[in-house]
Amino acid sequence: MFRVLTIAREYGSGGGSIARRVAEKLGWKLLDRALVQRMARAAQVDPELAQRYDERVDSWLHRISRKGLWYGGFDAAVTFPATEVFDAETMAELARSLIEEACAGGNCVIVGRGAQCVLQNRRDVLHVFIYAPWPERVARVRERAPTALDVENVIRTVDQRRAGYIRTYFGCDWTDPHLYHMLLSSELGEEEVARIIIDAIQCEAGQHA
């Protein structure tokens, strides 16, 4: 029986909105921005700072410098606990921990943040990838950010950033279909896609009733 849903999404596909619809209809917790807020509380940092590192990858130079701090580079005599080095890697570690904690409680929809990788071997988790035709994605993002100068470049950048985050911190290919039970196009309509997902969850529950 599925107790948890993970939703990975192309930027501008409406995946976040679909996740919210599913959570509301099932009465489940939605962990999207709320997950970032939980990470901020766990690390005792400002939520805006946590947001800046959300689903991002630290620069190559930063990662090399960080490794030096942690593993004795430059004859450093002091090592730092994870919470004292707040960066994208710390966010990914916190995400992994909090995703596992949320899964243990069940009845939640987790958006992005590598949840499809962290929970890949759980039989009680349904994994879904949401995509959309390029013109629809452009239209959604333009409506959301009408002052953006180059919407298409923004979409490509965010997609690349999310793919890099998954590859760097979870060792997965974001677009690998084998990570997911379903790949759904929001071109069908957000309400219809939400219904398909809910049907899959409830059908599985019915089989185990």
Hey, what are 183's tokens?
């790949």
**Residue 203: predicted pLDDT:** 83
Hey, what are 161's tokens?
């950033």
Instruction: Please state, in angstroms and rounded to a whole number, the distance separating the CA atoms of residues 209 and 162.
Output: 37
Closest of 3, 56, 19, 14 to residue 197, by C-alpha: 19
Check pLDDT > 80 for residue 84.
no
CB atoms within 10 A of CB 193: 25
Instruction: Please state, in angstroms and rounded to a whole number, the distance separating the CA atoms of residues 34 and 69.
Output: 31
According to DSSP, residue 77 is labeled -
Could you please report the per-residue DSSP string of 18-34? HHHHHHHHHTPEEESHH
Check pLDDT > 50 for residue 86.
yes
Q: How confident is the model at residue 47 (pLDDT cuts 50, 70, 90)?
A: confident
The pLDDT tens digits for 140-149 are 999 987 777 7
Q: How confident is the model at residue 89 (pLDDT cuts 50, 70, 90)?
A: confident
Q: Could you tell me the domains of the chain?
A: 4-207 (3.40.50.300)
Could you please report the per-residue DSSP string of 155-195? HHHHHHHHHHHHHHHH---TT-GGG-SEEEEGGG-HHHHHH
Q: Which amino acid is it at 115?
A: A
**Residue 119: predicted pLDDT:** 97
C-beta separation of 109 from 25 below 8 A = no
C-beta separation of 141 from 14 below 8 A = no
The pLDDT tens digits for 116-131 are 999 999 999 999 999 9
Instruction: Please state, in angstroms and rounded to a whole number, the distance separating the CA atoms of residues 4 and 68.
Output: 38
Question: In angstroms, how far apart are the furthest CA atoms of the chain?
Answer: 60
- Residue 178: CB partners within 8 Å, gap ≥ 6? none
Hey, what are 155's tokens?
């979409």
- In DSSP terms, 128 is beta-bridged to 7, 182
Helices and strands counted in the chain (H then E): 9, 5
